[in-house]
Amino acid sequence: MRSQRMMPVPKQLDELFEPKPESRLRIYAYSIADDAHSGLLKVGQTTKDVGARVAQQVKTAAIQNYEIVLDEPADRHDGTTFSDHEVRARLKQKGFKNPTLEWMECTLDDVRTAIAELRSGQVFGGTHHADFLMRAEQQAAVDKTFGYYQSRWSEDSDAVPEFLWNAKMRFGKTFTTYQLAKKLDARRVLVVTFKPAVEDAWEADLKNHIDFDGWQYISKATGGDPASVDSEHPLVFFGSFQDLMGRDAAGNFKAKHQWLTELSWDLVVFDEYHFGAWRDAAKELFEGEDEKAKKKATDDEFGADLEKFAEEREEQGLDEDAFVPIKANAYLYLSGTPFKVLNEGRFIEEQIFNWTYTDEQRAKAEFTRQHPDLPNPYASLPEMRLLTYQMPDELLAIASQGEFDEFDLNAFFEAKGTGADAEFVHKDDVQKWLDIIRGNYAPTQVDALKAGQRPPFPYSDTRLLPYLQHSLWMLPYRASCDAMKNLLSEPHNVFWHDYTVVNVSAPGVGVGLAALPPVRDAIGNGHDTKTITLTVGKLTTGVTVPQWSSILILRNLQAPETYFQAAFRVQSPWTIRNPEGDDPSRTEILKPVCFVFDFAPTRALRQISEYGRGLAPENPNPERAVEELVSFLPVLAYDGSHMTQVDAAGILDIAMSGTSATLLARKWESAVLVNVDNLTLKKIMSSEAAMNAVMNIEGFRALGSAVFETVVNKSEAVSKTKKAKGDDITPGEKKELSAEEKEYKSKRKQIQEKLIKFATRIPAFMYLTDYRENTLYDVITKIEPDLFQAVTGLTVDDFNLLVGLGVFNAGHMNQAVFAFRRYEDASLSYTGIESHEGLRHYGLYDTVVAVES
């Protein structure tokens, strides 16, 4: 009988697919807050939860005053691991003591550096320990810029390409710039800034990240002899616009910077570029600094230099950067608010990388949607809210001015005297304003009772008060800051006595980063204190105070660059890492949103309108651009009785509510609508079709086609002669123009005037057409070419050609077209006439937020 073999019993499916053990070796470090362990860190490893493992260790000794400061994976990119023994051994090799068992006498950065070395297989100087990778948008910026540089060099090996990063605060411009330099294999990098306070970030990023180990950093602050630089390692030199622009008594470039001219720089970076390119923005930037700095921003020397460079650029097609007499292979421009340069059309789309507030907040929302279980890298970046308030009529009567009779913050908060003697000119009314923002002003309380709801005034609404624990108040003058500090301290203002008031515009307070210590001292940990920081302009760019959660705009700011640079100060993340002391990977967000409070509503909404359009220069429809912005930056307006959220159409209506026929005429007579620099004139000369088109514009036949060649040749000849002679303008000195200069400047002016005269015909065409044009594209593509030619004297195709060549500034014309159409619609709507069938009317200005009388 055949013996039977025992057959194995088949396993169930769940037995065949056993769960894979999840185990990962981790290195941890913790400290104990007592004298015996002062300056020591316990460095260990575990595959368990670090918090649980450390709790086991300290439990036996009944220790409670410990903090876990490090919790990192102990694996390399190739899958191998390293142990806590190797970490301690590496620390001992670097000279750190190991007094007992697993305890090391070192800092947290020292441990991180040792881990970074073991992970990468490299040895780093100093405390290079950061090893994070670029975010997707940072990588995109590097790739696009590198690609553009390469394309230009392949076309012309002598080309010096330029690129603009329109990237807001917290994009990580310094780290990403260094990554670009690394990809370029740059050996010499020159960083020039218009705001020296940003140096902190440039130095820290270079010295902390492992990718830049061995790189050399020199600046005025760090010192160092350029002659002793190691040529084998990359060099970064950081300099300020003010220092590098300085001249000696003879008007020559400073001798101490002569070495800069002797090197060939692989990459020249202009940081905070928006401040340097335009004199008005530079003035706003420096207001409130000490007298020396303020003088530099406003006196003849500073102004003459900027005007000189602007003139050179206009006449010769040169850049504002021509003041640096250096040899450069490529330029990179960094700015969070480069609106003027974008409108100017200096950079085309392929030369621009955009990362705006809207992009950031969109990425934040999309990451949460796509990866709900992962830590959001954008989570700590607060969403902004803008709240505007119309003041009562009795206060409006105190200070209203201008073409639109707007509330004048500078006049309202004007003060006289200095220090303890400073006092507001309208002290009683400023006191009423203080009562209003606390919700204690009787007339507004009566209005609230009638309306049936209490409006959210900043220092009275319980939802807002936590965000006003640490705030920044931006005032118009130094005397205003002194007067505000005095008023808040008066005995009857008991409410404000809980706040420590720091006046950073007071005499003796440092400039730039030097003004930060008193603010940080007053804030402390931010939890047990309440502060108000008073400033005119200090600390509104290039600095970070995490605890600031709100800003009160109490001065007139015309430039959106300055307005939003200041506003973004309160968008800095405020987080607590490792809040319980047992999980270094955990982060608690203390500031999910932040607030901007403005008391000149029309001006504030005009800033939002301009900023929204500036964020999306590629979107010719202003309403769409503003609509996207306010989806992430809600705007609420208080009209004296109700607080209402305002949409994009309402913002544009309010922002343009003061538009008059006179103002519209000025828009169409503005020199910014046309470009007559040498580069543009050369484009016309090189195109037969463009030359024929220009000759059809009224007045050009009388000038003759040779006028373009005359202007270009003579201006370039004069420029070459000046350079050959070293003919430079001493600061403050004015020189007589030569006959050649007078001639080409006069002819250039005539060309400009003829082009502007043509531009003034476009509104007449729009008024006569049956179509609604919101953008220049609409003007060009609407189907009435005969009417366009009859009104303007130019065919639509010819006009389109000239726009494409940059003869007409499309960005500024888009704004003028849109403003004209809204003005026309509003005018006809008022009379009961609908200008176009199906025209959308916006009644928000009249029915929701009539914010200004």
pLDDT at 852 over 60: no
Give residue 128's pLDDT: 67
In this prediction, residues 542-568 reach a mean pLDDT of 87
**Cα distance between residue 264 and residue 578, in whole Å:** 46
Same-domain check for residues 390 and 534: yes
Classify residue 25 by its DSSP letter. Answer: -
Same-domain check for residues 150 and 289: yes
**Around Cβ 178, how many Cβ atoms within 10 Å?**
26
Single-letter amino acid, residue 843: G
Pick the last residue of a domain from 96, 120, 144: 120
In this prediction, residues 506-534 reach a mean pLDDT of 88
Q: How many helices (H) and strands (E) does the chain have?
A: 37, 28
Classify residue 213 by its DSSP letter. Answer: T
Same-domain check for residues 218 and 342: yes
- The answer to whether the beta carbons of residues 193 and 271 sit under 8 Å apart is yes
**Cα distance between residue 706 and residue 708, in whole Å:** 5
pLDDT, one tens digit per residue, over 283-307 is: 433 333 334 433 333 323 333 344 4
Token couple for 8: 């194995």
Token couple for 84: 């806590």
Give residue 724's pLDDT: 61
Q: Count of residues for the chain? A: 853
pLDDT, one tens digit per residue, over 68-78 is: 999 988 887 66
Token couple for 300: 């003849």
Helix H, strand E, coil C: the string for 216-271 is: EEEECCCECCHHHCCCCCCEEEEEEHHHHHCECCCCCECHHHHHHHHCEECEEEEE
The pairing of strands 423-424 and 470-474 is unpaired
Give residue 550's pLDDT: 96
Q: What are the angstrom distances between the C-alpha of 738 and each of 308, 376, 742, 761?
A: 16, 63, 6, 36
**Residue 564 neighbours by CB under 8 Å, 6+ apart:** 336, 337, 607, 611
**Cα distance between residue 551 and residue 470, in whole Å:** 9
Classify residue 673 by its DSSP letter. Answer: G
pLDDT at 499 over 90: yes
Give residue 533's pLDDT: 97
Specify if 734 maps to a domain.
no
Residue with tokens 């964020």: 615
In this prediction, residues 708-733 reach a mean pLDDT of 66
**Around Cβ 769, how many Cβ atoms within 10 Å?**
18
Specify if 853 maps to a domain.
no
pLDDT class of 249 with cuts at 50, 70, 90: low
Same-domain check for residues 323 and 445: no
Specify if 9 maps to a domain.
no
Which of the pair, 379 or 848, is modelled with greater confidence?
A: 379
Using the Cα atoms of residue 83, residue 89, residue 91 and residue 94 in order, give the sign of their dihedral.
negative
Burial zone of 347 (CB within 10 Å; 0-12 exposed, 13-18 middle, 19+ buried): middle
Give residue 101's pLDDT: 82
The pairing of strands 264-265 and 327-328 is parallel
Specify if 446 maps to a domain.
yes
- The answer to whether the beta carbons of residues 53 and 63 sit under 8 Å apart is no
Q: What are the angstrom distances between the C-alpha of 610 and each of 359, 468, 606, 622?
A: 17, 27, 6, 9
Long-range contacts of 359-362 (CB under 8 A, 24+ apart): 359/137, 360/168, 360/170, 360/171, 361/632, 361/633, 362/632
Give residue 756's pLDDT: 83
In this prediction, residues 686-697 reach a mean pLDDT of 87
pLDDT class of 206 with cuts at 50, 70, 90: confident
pLDDT class of 485 with cuts at 50, 70, 90: very high
Top-confidence range, 11-25, 122-136, 243-257, 655-669: 122-136
pLDDT class of 38 with cuts at 50, 70, 90: very high
Same-domain check for residues 228 and 318: yes
Residue 744 has phi, psi (to 5 degrees) of -70, -30
Same-domain check for residues 557 and 602: yes
Specify if 690 maps to a domain.
yes
pLDDT class of 795 with cuts at 50, 70, 90: confident
Same-domain check for residues 337 and 198: yes
Which of the pair, 57 or 829, is modelled with greater confidence?
A: 57
Specify if 361 maps to a domain.
no
The pairing of strands 575-577 and 587-589 is antiparallel
Which of the pair, 751 or 585, is modelled with greater confidence?
A: 751
- The answer to whether the beta carbons of residues 274 and 561 sit under 8 Å apart is yes
pLDDT class of 247 with cuts at 50, 70, 90: low
In this prediction, residues 725-745 reach a mean pLDDT of 61
What is the share, in percent, of the chain residues with pLDDT greater than 90?
27
Token couple for 25: 């070796």
**Around Cβ 23, how many Cβ atoms within 10 Å?**
8
**Reported pTM:** 0.64
In this prediction, residues 477-481 reach a mean pLDDT of 95
Task: Please report, for the domain that includes residue 182, its CATH number.
Answer: 3.40.50.300
pLDDT class of 749 with cuts at 50, 70, 90: confident
- The answer to whether the beta carbons of residues 105 and 39 sit under 8 Å apart is yes
Specify if 370 maps to a domain.
no
Give residue 79's pLDDT: 67
Which of the pair, 367 or 669, is modelled with greater confidence?
A: 367
- From 277-291, 465-479, 489-503, the region with the lowest mean pLDDT: 277-291
What is the share, in percent, of the chain residues with pLDDT greater than 70?
71
**Cα distance between residue 180 and residue 173, in whole Å:** 10
**Cα distance between residue 50 and residue 73, in whole Å:** 11
Grouping H, G, I as helix, E, B as strand and the rest as coil, residue 570 is helix
Same-domain check for residues 584 and 647: yes
pLDDT at 197 over 70: no
**Cα distance between residue 520 and residue 547, in whole Å:** 9
- The answer to whether the beta carbons of residues 801 and 784 sit under 8 Å apart is no
Which of the pair, 40 or 781, is modelled with greater confidence?
A: 40
Long-range contacts of 54-58 (CB under 8 A, 24+ apart): 54/28, 54/30, 54/582, 55/582, 58/32
pLDDT at 596 over 90: yes
pLDDT class of 467 with cuts at 50, 70, 90: very high
In angstroms, how far is CA 469 from the centroid of its own chain?
25
Helix H, strand E, coil C: the string for 681-724 is: HHHHHCCHHHHHHHHCCCCHHHHCCHHHHHHHHHHHHHHHHHHH
- What's the mean per-residue pLDDT of the chain? 77
Question: Into how many domains does the chain fold?
Answer: 4
Pick the last residue of a domain from 76, 91, 120: 120
pLDDT at 848 over 80: no
**Around Cβ 177, how many Cβ atoms within 10 Å?**
25
**Residue 172 sits in which domain range?**
136-355
Top-confidence range, 298-307, 402-411, 639-648, 675-684: 675-684
pLDDT at 402 over 60: no
Give residue 4's pLDDT: 52
Same-domain check for residues 591 and 474: yes
Give residue 105's pLDDT: 94
Give residue 250's pLDDT: 62
Same-domain check for residues 198 and 94: no
pLDDT at 61 over 80: no
Specify if 790 maps to a domain.
yes
Classify residue 842 by its DSSP letter. Answer: -
- From 14-23, 570-579, 590-599, 703-712, the region with the lowest mean pLDDT: 14-23
Grouping H, G, I as helix, E, B as strand and the rest as coil, residue 269 is strand
Top-confidence range, 297-306, 585-594, 729-738: 585-594
Which of the pair, 262 or 663, is modelled with greater confidence?
A: 262
Pick the last residue of a domain from 618, 633, 655: 655
- The answer to whether the beta carbons of residues 191 and 239 sit under 8 Å apart is yes
Which of the pair, 426 or 254, is modelled with greater confidence?
A: 426
Give residue 150's pLDDT: 95
Residue 7 has phi, psi (to 5 degrees) of -90, 135
Top-confidence range, 12-21, 375-384, 480-489, 672-681: 480-489
pLDDT at 209 over 70: yes
- The answer to whether the beta carbons of residues 645 and 633 sit under 8 Å apart is no
Same-domain check for residues 74 and 160: no
Closest Cα partner for 693 from 649, 734, 754?
A: 754
Give residue 653's pLDDT: 64
Q: How far apart are the first and last CA of the chain?
A: 113
In this prediction, residues 575-585 reach a mean pLDDT of 71
- The answer to whether the beta carbons of residues 513 and 479 sit under 8 Å apart is no
Residue with tokens 């070395």: 117
Same-domain check for residues 275 and 304: yes
- From 17-21, 52-56, 150-154, the region with the lowest mean pLDDT: 17-21
Burial zone of 413 (CB within 10 Å; 0-12 exposed, 13-18 middle, 19+ buried): buried
Closest Cα partner for 284 from 374, 414, 195, 406?
A: 195
Give residue 621's pLDDT: 66
